[in-house]
Amino acid sequence: MHSGPKHELDAEDRDLISRIFEERISPRLKLYHARTGALGCGFAGDAYANWVLHFRSVSDDFEITEFEYDEEARNVDLGV
């Protein structure tokens, strides 16, 4: 798990966020007919509250295109 103030996610961090995104967030985005956007990663835990993922729709699913660190990241309540 991501630890300390470093501004990089390792493969384990990215995998965890991606799995939770796919399981819990993606279904909500489909309800909202999302196509592309950016979301705070706080949904994966407090350790990721300053991380933002960028996504785009691909067929009937979503693809994470990028992760970035943002000290002012805010989470959006998607009701998950």
**Residue 26 domain-assigned?**
yes
Q: Specify if 56 maps to a domain.
A: yes
Half-sphere exposure of 25 (CA within 13 A, CB side): 27
Residue 78 belongs to some domain of the structure: no
40 located within any domain: yes
When divided into structural domains, the chain yields a total of: 1
Q: pLDDT value at position 80?
A: 54
Q: What is the pLDDT along the chain (80 residues), one digit of tens a residue?
A: 544 556 789 999 999 999 999 999 999 999 989 999 999 999 999 999 999 999 999 988 999 999 999 988 776 665 65
Tell me, yes or no, whether 6 lies in a domain. Answer: no
Is pTM beyond 0.85 here? Answer: no
In a domain, 77, yes or no: no
Q: Is residue 23 part of a domain?
A: yes
Domain coverage including residue 29: 11-69
76 lies in some domain: no
* Residue 21 DSSP label: I
